[in-house]
């Protein structure tokens, strides 16, 4: 199944151009051209391949698809498989085609025109290549070892028609920019690759969807960024949507390549490598977009071993380093340890940590981040701001010691991002920097979230029974003990939810003086960026990482239980759009349902700008804990939120007092609250203002800065006897597990003596 999620801006583009995106019904051909109804899918495909007019190729493609979907058009109209496709598909006189290495310069044309013209050429070539795949390869493959079912032709017909629609959309935008397809030169690489794989379906799938289409996933985000930087947001939205949809094309290629390999008893990845090396002996150029490829079911084992060796760089007399802002130094260093690197694109916790780093840098702190994760784009972004990042394996002997000894500035504070980081590195920091203040940043109370998840998903309890501090946590007792031990070992613990503080102090006897609240930060300029514009906003949105279990559960509950009731109370064309990082093909398949007006939109570059176009945002959480970034981001964008009680917990909600939206816990309540905000401008405006007020009073930069600087300036607590007990040899399980792993690794690498 292919997934055609639509972005809000993309829907507006469609409406403005009156493009018929539905596959039902016939469409008119250009004047003087009228095609007869084909007798079969293959005959229709042959006609398309021999048609030279791109416009008529598109029209014929959509009409053949409509006929095929009725079930009345057979695959072939002869007794045997005897197609007769051309060696190369027909092309119009323009554009002139060149070998890639002989392509003339396009510098005389505006950059958006050059980008869109190249993209239109790619979409046209892809449409022909997929029609050629349908026509050329019959149901019996690999000497009869592999049978292709109707679903194979269904899938690639849908892909071919996707490419047809993409071509039509891009050429429409070219016309708006005063250009047309054929005005610039183009290359013939795509046609050559299809021609070279016309005798082997496996090679065709390897080269076209799994290499060429996947390259589009890699290059697409850069093109979108380029167009946005040039101020052409409409073209950027078109390119972004096309790139997002083509994840489904790569996923389709993976699906049928694996089908071929299963029938012929071949290893899919190894066979793919063999075929690609035959066509691209020098390898595949990087960098690869790992997230987009994972969403297309293409994990790194498929392509990373094929990456083209990087060309040697010319070493200059002086090394070129990133320009780091000049800041005053206070002579103190803070060590921030986490299982992953701090970054702003995936979670509210990551945004909050990055804001903390910015505050510390501004105050002259030397900020050092360590993690067992590999250095990546996030560490490069941190390094550009003056943060030193080091990959430190906690299970390698003296790894952290060697690093800390190499630092000129001693560590005054160690901040652990969640309790797992404290378990990994806390005992080593205690040994190497005994006078350093150790701060645990909970982000949320993990055992509370895990206990709620257990009761809701395993015990099938109503989530409203889990909202009291007396919640049964025995099913997750091991997590409770580990997290509480980290709290007690640390001098200071940062929390974000007053509910969680109450539970820790009243039920688990954590001293209140060792708990400090540090909230999310919303810059004041962000609050002034998005004006009150009720009439201009449309549709309903929900955001959140697809790697976070509460979000995934909430999305399925929303789609299956809440949305059907909500739709009855909303205008008929209201759509539900789901955004989030790490949306896999499986997640998209299970959630995306255009017939219900539910669209999975995937990752959004700017969450505030995205949410600012919606009338209402949702937080359908049945379990979870801590701060809810999706709610604060909605308020910052001026979008009222309807949330469950779980989502509203820790978000300064009090019944009968102004808030940035409404709280609901049943399908009927959700439908009522959403309909009221969606249809009543006065109620919507009150919620809009309520969210802004909450951001200014609770999440302002100055108050969070004061709290953080007060925390890192605190003295160590020598009276923390419970923590000292847990650090004693009888209770240092985390250290001894790490030492066991160290010794095990030594034995594995030690050469046996004969």
pLDDT tens profile 87-123? 889 989 888 887 777 777 665 678 888 999 999 999 9
Count H helices, E strands: the chain?
A: 30, 17
52-85 tens-digit pLDDT: 999 999 999 999 999 999 998 999 988 888 888 9
Residue 46 burial (C-beta neighbours within 10 Å; 0-12, 13-18, 19+): buried
Structure confidence at residue 515 as a pLDDT band (50, 70, 90): very high
Domains of the chain: 103-306 (1.20.1260.10), 333-517 (3.40.50.2000), 529-699 (3.40.50.2000)
Distances (CA, A) of 601 to 228, 485, 643: 19, 41, 20
More confident residue, 591 or 26: 591
Mean pLDDT of the chain: 86
- Element housing 681 (H / E): helix 681-698
Q: How far is CA 429 from the centre of its chain?
A: 34
d(CA 583, CA 295): 6
Structure confidence at residue 533 as a pLDDT band (50, 70, 90): confident
Q: Inform me whether the pLDDT recorded for 689 exceeds 80.
A: yes
d(CA 504, CA 493): 11
Distances (CA, A) of 435 to 366, 393, 431, 492: 17, 23, 9, 14
Q: Whose CA is closest to 250, among 220, 280, 294?
A: 294
612-657 tens-digit pLDDT: 999 999 999 999 998 898 999 999 999 999 999 999 999 999 988 8
200-248 tens-digit pLDDT: 999 999 999 999 999 999 998 889 988 887 888 899 999 999 999 999 9
Residue-level length of the chain:
754
Beta strand 140-141 with 146-147: parallel, antiparallel or unpaired? antiparallel
DSSP 152-174: HHHHHHHHHHHHHHHHHHHHHHH
Q: Report, as an integer, the average pLDDT of 415-435.
A: 91
Q: Whose CA is closest to 485, among 735, 739, 731?
A: 731
Asked if 257 and 210 touch (Cβ cutoff 8 Å), the reply is yes
Structure confidence at residue 680 as a pLDDT band (50, 70, 90): very high
Q: Report, as an integer, the average pLDDT of 144-157.
A: 92
- In this prediction, residue 178 carries a pLDDT of 87
3-state secondary structure 689-737: HHHHHHHHHHCCHHHHHHHHHHHHCCCCCCCCHHHHHHHCHHHCHHHHH
Residues contacting 276, CB < 8 A, separation 6+: 206, 207, 210, 211, 284, 306
d(CA 715, CA 711): 9
Long-range contacts of 634-637 (CB under 8 A, 24+ apart): 634/543, 634/660, 634/661, 634/691, 635/522, 635/660, 635/691, 635/692, 635/694, 635/695, 636/522, 636/526, 636/527, 636/530, 636/608, 636/691, 636/695, 637/530, 637/607, 637/608, 637/609, 637/610, 637/611, 637/612
3-state secondary structure of 442: coil
Residue 403: DSSP 8-state: H
For residue 430, count other CB atoms closer than 10 A to its CB.
18
Q: What percent of the chain has pLDDT over 70?
A: 87
713-736 tens-digit pLDDT: 988 765 676 766 666 544 555 555
Beta bridge partners of 414: 335, 438
Q: What percent of the chain has pLDDT over 90?
A: 58
Q: How far is CA 165 from the centre of its chain?
A: 25
Q: Inform me whether the pLDDT recorded for 525 exceeds 90.
A: no
d(CA 150, CA 135): 13
Q: Whose CA is closest to 443, among 416, 482, 412?
A: 416
d(CA 716, CA 712): 10
- In this prediction, residue 563 carries a pLDDT of 97
Long-range contacts of 153-158 (CB under 8 A, 24+ apart): 153/41, 153/68, 153/75, 154/68, 155/1, 155/2, 155/252, 155/255, 155/256, 156/130, 156/252, 157/41, 157/64, 157/65, 157/68, 157/130, 158/2, 158/65
Q: 140-149, 366-375, 733-742 — which one is most confidently predicted on average?
A: 366-375
Please give the model's pTM, rounded to 2 decimal places. Answer: 0.57
Distances (CA, A) of 666 to 344, 566, 706: 32, 11, 40
- In this prediction, residue 394 carries a pLDDT of 84
d(CA 154, CA 180): 31
Structure confidence at residue 17 as a pLDDT band (50, 70, 90): very low
DSSP 237-300: HHHHHHHHHHHHHHHHHHHHHHHHHHHHT--HHHHHHHHHHHH-TT-B-S---HHHHHHTT--T
Structural tokens at position 696? 């200014």
d(CA 599, CA 584): 14
Q: 107-111, 384-388, 404-408 — which one is most confidently predicted on average?
A: 384-388
Residue 307: DSSP 8-state: B
| Weakest mean pLDDT among 280-294, 499-513, 545-559 | 280-294
Residues contacting 492, CB < 8 A, separation 6+: 437, 438, 439, 440, 514, 515, 516, 711, 714, 717
- What are the backbone angles phi and psi of residue 291, rounded to the nearest 5°? -65, -45
Residues contacting 615, CB < 8 A, separation 6+: 534, 537, 538, 539, 540, 639, 677, 678, 684
- In this prediction, residue 594 carries a pLDDT of 86
Asked if 23 and 69 touch (Cβ cutoff 8 Å), the reply is yes
Q: Inform me whether the pLDDT recorded for 529 exceeds 50.
A: yes
Asked if 592 and 599 touch (Cβ cutoff 8 Å), the reply is yes
Q: Inform me whether the pLDDT recorded for 749 exceeds 80.
A: no
Q: Whose CA is closest to 220, among 158, 295, 159?
A: 295
| Weakest mean pLDDT among 33-42, 78-87, 408-417, 465-474 | 33-42
| Weakest mean pLDDT among 231-240, 246-255, 575-584 | 575-584
Structural tokens at position 9? 């801006």
- In this prediction, residue 320 carries a pLDDT of 44
Residues contacting 393, CB < 8 A, separation 6+: 372, 399
Question: Angle between the 549-557 and 446-453 helix axes, to the nearest 10 degrees?
Answer: 40
- In this prediction, residue 32 carries a pLDDT of 42
Question: Angle between the 477-489 and 419-432 helix axes, to the nearest 10 degrees?
Answer: 40
Q: Inform me whether the pLDDT recorded for 744 exceeds 90.
A: no
3-state secondary structure of 563: helix
Asked if 403 and 388 touch (Cβ cutoff 8 Å), the reply is no
- In this prediction, residue 712 carries a pLDDT of 94
Residue 194 burial (C-beta neighbours within 10 Å; 0-12, 13-18, 19+): buried
95-118 b/e (C-beta count within 10 Å ≥ 16 → b): beeeeeeebeeeeeeeebbbbbbb
Asked if 48 and 61 touch (Cβ cutoff 8 Å), the reply is yes
Residue in the block written with tokens 């959403």: 674
Q: Inform me whether the pLDDT recorded for 127 exceeds 60.
A: yes
- Element housing 501 (H / E): helix 498-506
Q: Inform me whether the pLDDT recorded for 411 exceeds 50.
A: yes
486-514 tens-digit pLDDT: 999 999 999 999 999 999 999 999 999 99
Q: Inform me whether the pLDDT recorded for 566 exceeds 90.
A: yes
Structure confidence at residue 5 as a pLDDT band (50, 70, 90): very low
Q: Inform me whether the pLDDT recorded for 315 exceeds 50.
A: no
**In 374-461, at which residue ranges do the beta strands (DSSP E only) sit?**
388-391, 411-417, 437-441
Q: Report, as an integer, the average pLDDT of 676-681.
A: 96
Q: Report, as an integer, the average pLDDT of 326-353.
A: 86
């Amino acid at each position: 199944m292919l997934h055609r999620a639509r972005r809000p801006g993309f829907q507006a583009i469609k409406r403005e151009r009156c493009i018929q995106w539905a596959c039902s019904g016939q469409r008119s051909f250009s004047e003087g051209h009228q095609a007869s109804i084909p007798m079969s899918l293959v005959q229709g495909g042959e006609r398309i391949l021999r048609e030279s007019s791109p416009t008529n190729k598109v029209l014929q493609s959509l009409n053949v698809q409509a006929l095929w979907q009725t079930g009345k058009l057979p695959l072939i109209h002869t007794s045997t498989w005897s197609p007769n496709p051309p060696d190369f598909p027909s092309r119009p006189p323009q554009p002139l085609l060149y070998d890639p290495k002989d392509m003339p310069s396009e510098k005389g044309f505006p950059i958006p025109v050059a980008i869109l013209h190249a993209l239109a050429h790619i979409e046209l070539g892809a449409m022909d290549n997929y029609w050629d795949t349908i026509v050329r390869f019959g149901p019996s493959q690999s000497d009869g070892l592999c049978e292709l079912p109707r679903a194979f032709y269904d899938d690639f017909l849908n892909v071919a028609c996707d490419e047809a629609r993409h071509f039509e959309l891009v050429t429409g935008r070219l016309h708006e920019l005063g250009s047309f397809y054929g005005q610039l030169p183009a290359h013939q690489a795509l046609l050559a690759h299809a021609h070279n794989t016309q005798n082997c379906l496996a090679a065709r799938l390897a080269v076209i969807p799994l290499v060429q289409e996947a390259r589009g996933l890699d290059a697409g985000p850069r093109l979108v960024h380029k167009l946005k930087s040039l101020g052409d947001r409409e073209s950027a939205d078109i390119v972004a949507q096309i790139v997002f949809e083509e994840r489904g094309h790569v996923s389709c290629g993976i699906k049928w390549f694996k089908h071929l390999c299963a029938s012929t008893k071949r290893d899919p990845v190894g066979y793919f490598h063999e075929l690609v090396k035959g066509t691209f002996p020098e390898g595949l150029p990087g960098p690869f977009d790992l997230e987009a490829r994972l969403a297309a079911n293409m994990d790194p084992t498929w392509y990373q071993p094929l990456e083209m060796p990087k060309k040697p760089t010319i070493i200059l007399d002086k090394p070129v380093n990133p320009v780091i802002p000049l800041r005053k130094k206070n002579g103190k260093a803070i060590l921030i340890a986490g299982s992953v690197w701090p970054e702003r694109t995936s979670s509210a916790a990551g945004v909050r940590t990055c804001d903390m780093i910015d505050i510390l840098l501004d105050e002259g702190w030397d900020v050092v981040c360590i993690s067992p994760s590999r250095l990546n784009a996030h560490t490069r972004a941190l390094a550009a701001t003056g943060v030193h990042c080091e990959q430190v394996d906690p299970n390698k002997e003296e790894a952290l010691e060697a690093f800390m000894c190499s630092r000129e500035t001693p560590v005054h504070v160690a901040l652990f991002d969640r309790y797992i980081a404290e378990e990994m590195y806390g005992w080593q920091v205690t040994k190497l920097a005994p006078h350093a203040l150790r701060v645990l940043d909970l982000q949320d109370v993990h055992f509370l979230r895990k206990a709620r998840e257990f009761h809701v998903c395993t015990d099938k309890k109503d989530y409203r029974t889990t909202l009291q501090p007396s919640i049964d946590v025995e099913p997750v007792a091991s997590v409770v003990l580990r997290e509480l031990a980290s709290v007690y070992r640390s001098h200071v613990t940062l929390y974000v939810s007053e509910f969680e503080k109450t539970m820790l102090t009243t039920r688990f006897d954590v001293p209140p003086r060792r708990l400090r609240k540090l909230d999310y930060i919303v810059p004041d300029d962000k609050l002034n960026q998005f004006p009150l514009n009720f009439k201009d906003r449309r549709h309903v949105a929900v955001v959140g990482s697809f790697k976070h279990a509460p979000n995934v559960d909430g999305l399925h509950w929303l789609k299956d239980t809440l949305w059907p009731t909500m739709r009855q109370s909303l205008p008929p064309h209201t759509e539900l759009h789901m955004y989030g990082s790490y949306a896999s093909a499986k997640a998209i398949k299970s959630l995306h349902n255009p017939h219900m007006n539910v669209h999975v939109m995937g990752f959004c570059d700017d969450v505030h700008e995205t949410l600012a176009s919606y009338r209402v945002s949702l937080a359908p959480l049945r379990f979870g804990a801590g701060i809810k970034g999706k709610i604060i981001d909605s308020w910052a964008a001026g979008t009222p939120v309807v949330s469950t009680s779980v989502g509203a917990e820790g978000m300064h909600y009090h019944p009968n007092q102004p808030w940035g939206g409404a709280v609901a816990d049943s399908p009927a309540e959700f439908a009522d609250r959403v309909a009221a905000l969606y249809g009543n401008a006065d109620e919507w405006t009150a919620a809009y203002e309520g969210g802004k007020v909450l951001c200014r009073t609770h999440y302002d930069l100055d108050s969070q800065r004061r709290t953080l600087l007060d925390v890192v300036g605190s003295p160590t607590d020598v009276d923390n006897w419970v923590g000292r007990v847990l650090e004693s040899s009888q209770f240092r399980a985390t250290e001894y597990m790490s030492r066991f792993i160290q010794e095990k690794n030594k034995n594995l690498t030690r050469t046996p003596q004969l």
